[in-house]
């Protein structure tokens, strides 16, 4: 390993170690089932490199959600990522035949073809998870199993399994997948199979879940193994899993991905016993309340419709009990809450039905979707070309590397040493980090502060944003161009929200921020290009704050639309949904202003559909409101309206989805619009 390669390895190691120490996780806990503690220590010190699969697993165990990161992969890893996402898309859309074919191909190439033991185990864990979901999907369609699992002979042999057989097969698959990376002191048969009543104490304590440091993927497998393993009263185990998800190391999105499901399974399996009284139902109701609030904090809807249904039944029973005990006021309070949750559930059903998406949460593909992934080989070629830099110049006349090495990187998909790549990317004003966050910093608190700053800017909390901007300025290096760019753009947005600068001045500030890493004219000129998410955000916000529909604004809109056209063609919008819903939502709004209503609606429909599949609230209400606004303009201009026209119902749905995402400002905006319409 060269010195520059060692520096690159140390960068990831420092990031990992700082997060591990912050949350009091030992080397033994984090490495358990993945690698040795000494091996992890070498990764942290930079004397050993870790493959992508192992890096992913270590980050996930520390509760670091990669949803808002940009990931840079060499071509071979990038092709693997594409095949994995294609499989996830087919599974999530319940295309059983297509998913089965893709799973067979993926297993042959990656599960069976990987040499490193930990990578092979992680690939097998993923494949078993997909196999189990396909088995569930196949059972819903009542098809024969033969032909759908070419790499799973034990499953292929079974045709049309009965409900009991299906549960056993699913329990076996999930248990096998789990135990590839999570070890337990007791044998799996004694843990996951039905226990006699006198063995329940052993059963409830043998897993020692509270001692584990698990990723959300591993906790999901544990939930499935418990649910389908017929463990009897697994209430204590579900509560231990819930306790793990409340750990401070998990960000809100990571927690939401598993917390609501754990509560749902806890209630579902507990109610199935038929032994719950009012005390148990009241406790379950409290868990449901926490689950709904967990989802709202993250702007997610995993198992939300199911929880609202369970919640309504539980509250009705508890309200009846309160009334029987003479607590009429409490009973009426619960019934009022029942009505609100009923309205939420009805809004979910109506919107999901309109856009042709199943309202129930059917899969857990969301846990394995890797967002914002780009091919390093393509990035270097596109960025070099758009900047007008020759290979000779980028190679620094052969001092950095030979032109032949660079040509092989760009044209043949070859890898280069990490140290060389770091220098190439720096010369292109890019980061070569394995995963790039909004800010270049290893301090976990900085990343959390940045997340809070985004929330403050979205909600126009200018005081909170000012405070966080000041704190970040003291904790990050503004000498790093991308850090300076992010800070300047956030500062400009907060200043315009405060009224300290005009929209025109904000556009100027955003242009200056963009130029920290890329000249404006190069960014917007026609041709193949690669722009970072930060650079795209600068241009998108310029569009939003330029209130004139001039040629420059139209050029920016065309650039943004072109940037995401490939996502639509490749059917992988879901892999870029964080940026797509924000950027293309802006484009849809501007197209509506330009009178291109059909084009605007087409984009809004795509955003809404993808957000519904991914159980995201943010893009749904914006899209519904935009389509409603377009319909109003059509009616004014005498243009036929294709969609059913019920503006009050649309506004009510917008209010519900804003509340589900805890977006106070949006909810107030839609409520005022609804009130004005009622007064007309």
| Residues 83-135: tens digit of each pLDDT | 999 999 999 998 999 999 999 999 998 887 666 688 889 999 999 999 999 99
**Locate tokens 């992508």: which residue?**
52
Q: What angle do CA 462, 464, 470 make, to 5 degrees?
A: 100
The rounded distance, in Å, linking the Cα atoms of 401 and 371 is: 31
- Report the distance separating Cα 395 and Cα 53, nearest Å: 30
Q: Give CA–CA dist 377/382, Å, rounded.
A: 9
**Per-residue pLDDT at 433:** 64
- Dihedral, 669, 670, 676, 677 alpha carbons, nearest 10: 160
CA distance 523 to 517: 10
Q: Residue 190: what pLDDT?
A: 45
The count of other CB atoms within 10 Å of the CB of residue 344 is 20
> Taking the CB of residue 566, how many other CB atoms lie within 10 A of it?
10
3-39 in b/e form (b: 16+ CB < 10 A) is: eebbebbbbbbebbbbbbeeeebebeebbbbbbeeeb
pLDDT the model gives residue 134: 92
Would the CATH topology of 3-72 be identical to that of 375-438?
yes
Beta strand 373-375 with 435-436: parallel, antiparallel or unpaired? unpaired
Question: pLDDT tens digit string along 128-157?
Answer: 999 999 998 776 654 333 332 333 333 333
Q: Write the DSSP string, 175-233.
A: HHHHTTT---SS-HHHHHS---GGGHHHHHHTT-GGG----HHHHHHHHHHHHHTT-S-
What is the dotted CATH code of the domain comprising 375-438? 1.10.260.40
Q: What is the pLDDT of residue 456?
A: 94
- Torsional sign, CA 184, 188, 192, 194: negative
CA pair distance 513, 321, nearest whole angstrom: 61
- What is each CA distance from 345 to 288, 305, 665, in whole angstroms? 14, 6, 22
CA angle 163, 165, 168 (to 5 degrees): 110
Predicted pLDDT of residue 644: 85
Q: How many alpha carbons fall within 13 Å on the CB side of residue 536? A: 25
Contact 600, 561 (CB under 8 A): no
Q: Which residues pair with 72 in a beta bridge?
A: 374
Domain assignments of the chain as residue spans, ordered by start: 3-72, 375-438, 439-554
Distance CA 319, CA 255 (A): 30
Q: Which CATH code fits 3-72?
A: 1.10.260.40
Burial class (CB in 10 A: 0-12, 13-18, 19+), 117: exposed
Residue 173 CA, distance from chain mean position: 25
Distance CA(395)–CA(410), nearest Å, equals: 13
Q: CA-CA distance, 149 to 172, in Å (whole number)?
A: 16
Looking at the DSSP bridge assignments, the partners of residue 616 are 300
Rounded Cα–Cα distance for residues 560 and 622 (Å): 18
Write b or e for each residue in 233-253: b if 16 or more Cβ atoms lie within 10 A of its Cβ, otherwise e.
bbbbbbbbbbebbeeebbbbb
Beta bridge partners of 374: 72
Enter the tokens of residue 668.
């107030």
How far apart CA 227 and CA 245 sit, in angstroms, is: 18
Collect the ranges in the chain with pLDDT lower than 70. Answer: 1-10, 66-68, 113-116, 139-163, 184-207, 230-233, 432-437
| Distance in angstroms (rounded) separating the CA atoms of residues 423 and 394 | 9
β-sheet with 435-436: strand ranges across: 373-375, 70-73, 435-436
CB 584 within 8 A of CB 623: no
Angle at 577 between CA 55 and CA 253, to 5 degrees: 55
Token pair for residue 206?
């043998």
User: What is d(CA 414, CA 393) in angstroms, rounded to the nearest whole number?
Assistant: 20
CA angle 488, 494, 497 (to 5 degrees): 145
Nearest to 219 by CA among 237, 243, 241, 203: 241
- What is residue 201's predicted lDDT score, i.e. its pLDDT? 39
Distance of CA 29 to the CA centre of its chain: 25
CA-based end-to-end distance of the chain = 73
Cβ–Cβ under 8 Å, residues 457 and 490:
yes
The pLDDT of residue 432 is 62
CB atoms within 10 A of CB 91: 27
Number of Cβ within 10 Å of residue 122's Cβ equals 24
Q: Quick one: pLDDT at residue 306? A: 95
Q: Among candidates 336, 365, 351, which has minimal Cα distance to 305? A: 351
Nearest in space to 254 (alpha carbons), one of 32, 453, 61:
61
Q: Which two tokens stand for residue 54?
A: 């192992």
CA distance 20 to 244: 16
The gap from C-alpha 518 to its chain's centroid, in whole angstroms, comes to 28
Q: How far apart are CA 212 and CA 221, in angstroms?
A: 14
The residues, ordered by sequence, that sit 6+ positions from 289 with a Cβ below 8 Å of its Cβ are: 311
Task: Give the pLDDT confidence score for residue 527 in this predicted structure.
Answer: 86
pLDDT at 146: 32
CA–CA distance, 80 with 370 (Å, rounded to integer): 11
For residue 84, the tally of other CB atoms under 10 A from its CB is: 21
Kindly report the length of the chain.
Answer: 680
Q: Which long-range contacts (CB under 8 A, 24 or more apart) does 225-229 make?
A: 225/171, 225/174, 225/175, 225/178, 225/192, 226/192, 226/265, 226/269, 227/265, 227/268, 227/269, 228/167, 228/168, 228/170, 228/171, 228/174, 229/171, 229/174, 229/175, 229/192, 229/193
Q: Answer left, alpha or beta for residue 326, where phi above 0 means left and psi between -120 and 50 means alpha.
A: left
């Amino acid at each position: 390993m060269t010195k520059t390669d060692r520096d690159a390895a140390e960068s990831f190691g420092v990031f990992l170690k700082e997060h591990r120490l912050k949350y009091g996780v030992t080397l033994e806990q984090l490495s358990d089932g993945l690698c040795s503690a000494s091996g992890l220590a070498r990764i942290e010190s930079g004397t050993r490199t870790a493959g992508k699969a192992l890096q992913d697993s270590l980050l996930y165990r520390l509760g670091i959600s990669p949803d808002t990161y940009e990931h840079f992969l060499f071509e071979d890893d990038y092709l693997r990522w594409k095949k994995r996402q294609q499989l996830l898309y087919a599974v999530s859309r319940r295309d059983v035949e297509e998913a089965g074919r893709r799973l067979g191909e993926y297993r042959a190439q990656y599960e069976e073809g990987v040499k490193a033991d930990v990578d092979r185990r992680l690939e097998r864990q993923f494949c078993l998870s997909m196999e189990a979901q396909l088995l569930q999907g196949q059972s819903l369609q009542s098809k024969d199993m033969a032909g759908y699992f070419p790499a799973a002979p034990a499953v292929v042999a079974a045709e049309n399994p009965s409900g009991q057989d299906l549960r056993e097969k699913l329990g076996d698959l999930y248990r096998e997948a789990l135990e590839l990376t999570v070890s337990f002191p007791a044998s799996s048969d004694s843990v996951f199979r039905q226990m006699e009543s006198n063995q329940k104490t052993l059963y409830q304590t043998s897993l020692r879940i509270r001692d584990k440091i698990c990723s959300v993927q591993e906790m999901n497998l544990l939930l499935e193994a418990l649910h389908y393993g017929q463990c009897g009263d697994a209430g204590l185990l579900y509560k231990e899993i819930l306790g793990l998800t409340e750990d401070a190391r998990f960000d809100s999105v990571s927690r939401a991905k598993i917390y609501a499901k754990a509560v749902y399974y806890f209630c579902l399996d507990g109610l199935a016993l038929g032994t719950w009284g009012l005390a148990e139902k009241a406790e379950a109701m409290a868990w449901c309340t926490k689950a709904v609030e967990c989802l709202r904090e993250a702007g997610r809807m995993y198992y939300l419709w199911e929880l609202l249904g369970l919640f309504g039944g539980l509250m009705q029973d508890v309200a009846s009990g309160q009334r029987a005990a003479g607590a009429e006021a409490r009973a009426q309070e619960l019934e009022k809450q029942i009505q609100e949750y009923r309205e939420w559930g009805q809004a979910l059903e109506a919107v999901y039905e309109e856009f042709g998406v199943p309202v129930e949460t059917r899969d857990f593909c969301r846990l394995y979707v890797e967002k914002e992934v780009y091919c390093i080989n393509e990035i270097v070629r596109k960025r070099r070309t758009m900047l007008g830099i020759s290979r000779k110049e980028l190679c620094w006349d052969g001092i950095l590397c030979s032109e032949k090495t660079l040509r092989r990187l760009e044209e043949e998909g070859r890898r280069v040493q990490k140290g060389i790549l770091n220098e190439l990317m720096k010369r292109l004003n890019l980061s070569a980090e394995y995963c790039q966050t909004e800010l270049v910093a290893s301090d976990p608190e900085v990343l959390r502060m940045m997340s809070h700053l985004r929330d403050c800017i979205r909600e126009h909390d200018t005081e909170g944003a000012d405070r966080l901007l000041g704190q970040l300025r003291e904790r990050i290096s503004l000498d790093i161009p991308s850090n300076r760019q992010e800070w300047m753009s956030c500062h400009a947005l907060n200043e315009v929200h405060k009224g300290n600068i005009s929209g025109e001045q904000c556009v100027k500030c955003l242009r200056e921020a963009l130029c920290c890493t890329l000249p404006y004219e190069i960014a917007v000129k026609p041709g193949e290009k690669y722009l970072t998410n930060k650079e795209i955000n600068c241009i998108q916000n310029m569009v939003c704050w330029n209130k004139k529909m001039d040629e420059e604004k139209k050029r920016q809109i065309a650039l943004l639309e072109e940037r995401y056209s490939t996502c639509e063609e490749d059917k992988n919008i879901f892999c870029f949904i964080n940026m797509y819903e924000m950027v293309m939502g802006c484009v849809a709004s501007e197209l509506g202003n330009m009178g291109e209503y059909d084009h605007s609606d087409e984009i809004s429909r795509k955003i809404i559909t993808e957000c519904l599949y991914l159980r995201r609230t943010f893009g749904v209400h914006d899209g519904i409101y935009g389509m409603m606004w377009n319909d109003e303009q059509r009616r004014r201009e005498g243009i036929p309206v294709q969609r059913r026209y019920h503006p009050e119902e649309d506004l009510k749905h917008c209010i519900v989805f804003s509340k589900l995402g805890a977006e106070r400002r949006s909810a107030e905006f839609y409520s005022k619009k609804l009130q004005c319409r009622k007064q007309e």
